């Protein structure tokens, strides 16, 4: 085992800058996942009424805590998408390197361990950093944490690296099985495998939400948070799978009808690898659903609160409810920032993996401006219908929640929620545009030396 650790470290240290970007971003993603999970575990370990010295009493009651726990666990979904994009940084180089080890005489088990260690050690660094920050904060806010709380914190701190290592080994299983095929290929084949990993992670988050909320609140109090959580996952899963099918359909339609070189290049790319869009946009679509639904729910909720305040039936101070809404909005903005970071990383990695083909197109006379427009179209074309569907699903969730408050306030359609999909779509295009400076280096004629 020590030999495998040393070999994994030497391979990482001797790699190019892309490997260090992958290690750093993977550690950052693992730190975020650990931080969110630690906060959820700490809140889930509280039983009954407990006075928390911040949040205007939002965390004192089990019912409100269950909603906060669900929000924290939902933040794990964009983090999973971000980690999935980080895992693909330098994928071609790493696949060939591990295939070379296999051809040099390394056993399949040894190559799997090395692959797992490369990802697991990065996740361990991020997990330890987040734990080192979280434990002093917890001790400062909680005078005597319970034994289940400490056990949950330890489980999260060790579980994130273990899951990261298992994911790394699983993602490279085909390299171990067929090293010759991977050495000969110019790029790894794509398909639904990474998407299934993402779906598996989301299902694990759902299971954690069920356990945490059931432990924190009773059946009636947990019903609404779990219902919203389940609706988000169902609509999000359908939207993600639709994104892959839409990419293939758009690619096929535009490939025969494109009237510009940029559209033709983007269409061929979508037709060649339609599920790349689904993998990249999965977390984007889920955040769109959550954000759209939240804006609708916020509008309805504030109308109900205003009506209750006027008739004197408001049970708590207004700041109690406003704080909850503000914290939810902040969580959604954090999720959007993580998602856009993952999208930018995925777009940049796509350019890096295709730099030889891009350099060949530039050498054949294709202007760099055309290649840049094609890059943006690869994001814009499949994302547009998926965002429309995600916004529609989020709007439906907001309207459904509004129907639960019938009779308490005047019912209005939350049209403001329709601005969320538009804003997310524009932000995604801007995130994809951040990789355009990398295009200049990717089309350099020197890249043709490695063709």
Same-domain check for residues 264 and 397: yes
Same-domain check for residues 93 and 147: yes
The pLDDT-based confidence of 425 (bands split at 50, 70, 90) is very high
Same-domain check for residues 320 and 177: no
pLDDT > 90: percent of the chain: 5
Residue 205 within a domain: no
Residue 250 within a domain: yes
Residue 226 within a domain: yes
- Contact of 327 with 68, CB cutoff 8 Å: yes
pLDDT tens, 305-353? 777 777 776 766 777 778 778 888 888 899 899 888 888 887 887 777 7
Q: Which residue has the higher pLDDT, 167 or 435?
A: 435
Q: Which domain holds residue 157?
A: 1-189
Residue 75 within a domain: yes
Whether pLDDT at 186 is above 50: no
- Contact of 36 with 76, CB cutoff 8 Å: yes
What's the domain count of the chain?
Answer: 2
Query: How high is the pLDDT of residue 188?
Result: 45
Residue 74 within a domain: yes
Query: How high is the pLDDT of residue 77?
Result: 77
Same-domain check for residues 229 and 173: no
pLDDT tens, 187-244? 444 444 445 555 566 566 666 666 655 555 555 555 665 666 666 666 666 666 776 7
pLDDT tens, 298-314? 888 887 777 777 777 67
DSSP per-residue string spanning 2-40:
HHHHHHHHHHHHTS-HHHHHHHHHHHHHHHHHHHHHHHH
DSSP 411: -
Same-domain check for residues 9 and 151: yes
* All residues at 6 or more sequence positions from 153 whose CB lies less than 8 Å from its CB, including other chains: 38, 41, 42, 131, 134, 135, 138
d(CA 157, CA 135): 11
pLDDT tens, 93-138? 666 777 777 777 777 777 777 777 778 888 889 999 999 998 888 8
Identify the bridge partners of residue 409 per DSSP, sorted by sequence position: 406
Query: How high is the pLDDT of residue 423?
Result: 92
User: In 104-218, where does DSSP find H-type helix?
Assistant: 108-141, 147-171, 173-177, 179-184, 193-216
Query: How high is the pLDDT of residue 447?
Result: 67
Same-domain check for residues 241 and 126: no
Query: How high is the pLDDT of residue 187?
Result: 47
Burial class from Cβ neighbours inside 10 Å (0-12, 13-18, 19+) for residue 193 reads middle
Extract the tokens encoding 53.
């010295």
d(CA 164, CA 25): 13
Extract the tokens encoding 80.
């999973």
Average pLDDT, the chain: 76
Residue 385 within a domain: yes
Helix/strand/coil percentages in the chain, nearest 5: 85, 0, 15
Residue 326 within a domain: yes
Same-domain check for residues 182 and 222: no
Whether pLDDT at 426 is above 90: yes
pLDDT > 70: percent of the chain: 70
Same-domain check for residues 69 and 127: yes
Query: How high is the pLDDT of residue 189?
Result: 46
Same-domain check for residues 283 and 404: yes
Same-domain check for residues 240 and 356: yes
pLDDT tens, 36-60? 888 888 888 777 776 766 666 677 7
d(CA 274, CA 281): 12
Whether pLDDT at 370 is above 50: yes
Same-domain check for residues 168 and 225: no
pTM: 0.76
What's CA 155's distance to the chain center, in Å? Answer: 22
Same-domain check for residues 15 and 56: yes
* All residues at 6 or more sequence positions from 15 whose CB lies less than 8 Å from its CB, including other chains: 90, 93, 94, 97
């Amino acid at each position: 085992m020590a030999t495998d650790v040393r070999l994994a470290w030497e391979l990482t240290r001797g790699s190019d800058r892309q490997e260090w970007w992958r290690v750093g971003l993977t550690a950052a993603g693992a730190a975020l996942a650990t931080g969110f999970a630690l906060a959820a575990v700490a809140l889930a370990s509280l039983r009954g009424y407990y006075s928390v010295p911040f949040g205007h009493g939002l965390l004192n009651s089990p019912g409100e805590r269950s909603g906060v726990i669900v929000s924290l666990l939902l933040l794990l979904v964009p983090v999973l998408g971000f980690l999935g994009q980080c895992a693909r940084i330098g994928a071609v180089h790493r696949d060939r390197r591990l295939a070379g080890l296999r051809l040099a005489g390394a056993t399949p088990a040894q190559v799997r361990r090395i692959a797992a260690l490369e990802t697991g050690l990065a996740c361990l660094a991020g997990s330890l950093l987040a734990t080192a920050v979280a434990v002093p904060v917890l001790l400062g806010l909680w005078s005597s944490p319970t034994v289940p709380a400490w056990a949950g914190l330890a489980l999260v701190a060790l579980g994130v690296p273990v899951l990261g290592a298992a994911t790394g080994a699983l993602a490279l299983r085909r390299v171990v099985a067929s090293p010759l095929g991977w050495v000969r290929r110019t790029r790894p084949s794509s398909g639904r495998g990474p998407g299934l990993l993402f779906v598996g992670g989301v299902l694990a988050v759902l299971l954690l939400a069920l356990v945490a909320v059931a432990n924190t609140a009773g059946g009636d109090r947990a019903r609404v948070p779990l219902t919203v959580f389940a609706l988000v996952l169902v609509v999000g899963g359908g939207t993600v799978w639709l994104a892959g099918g839409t990419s293939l359909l758009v690619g096929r339609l535009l490939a025969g009808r494109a009237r510009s070189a940029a559209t033709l290049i983007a269409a061929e790319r979508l037709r060649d690898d339609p599920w790349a869009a689904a993998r990249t946009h999965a977390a984007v679509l889920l955040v769109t659903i959550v954000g759209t639904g939240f804006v609708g729910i916020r509008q309805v909720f504030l109308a109900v609160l205003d009506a209750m305040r006027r008739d004197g039936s408001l049970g708590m101070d207004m700041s109690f409810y406003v704080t909850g809404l503000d914290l939810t909005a902040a969580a959604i903005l954090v999720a959007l920032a993580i998602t856009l970071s993952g999208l930018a990383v995925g777009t940049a990695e796509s350019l890096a993996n295709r730099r030889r083909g891009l350099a060949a197109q530039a050498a054949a006379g294709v202007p760099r401006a055309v290649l840049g427009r094609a890059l943006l179209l690869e994001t814009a074309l499949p994302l547009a219908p998926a965002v429309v569907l995600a916004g529609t699903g989020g709007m439906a969730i907001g309207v459904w929640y509004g129907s639960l408050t019938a009779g308490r306030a005047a019912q209005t359609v939350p049209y403001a929620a329709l601005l969320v999909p538009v804003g997310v779509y524009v932000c995604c295009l801007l995130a994809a545009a951040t990789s355009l400076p990398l295009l200049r280096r990717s089309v350099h004629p020197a890249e043709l030396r490695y063709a």
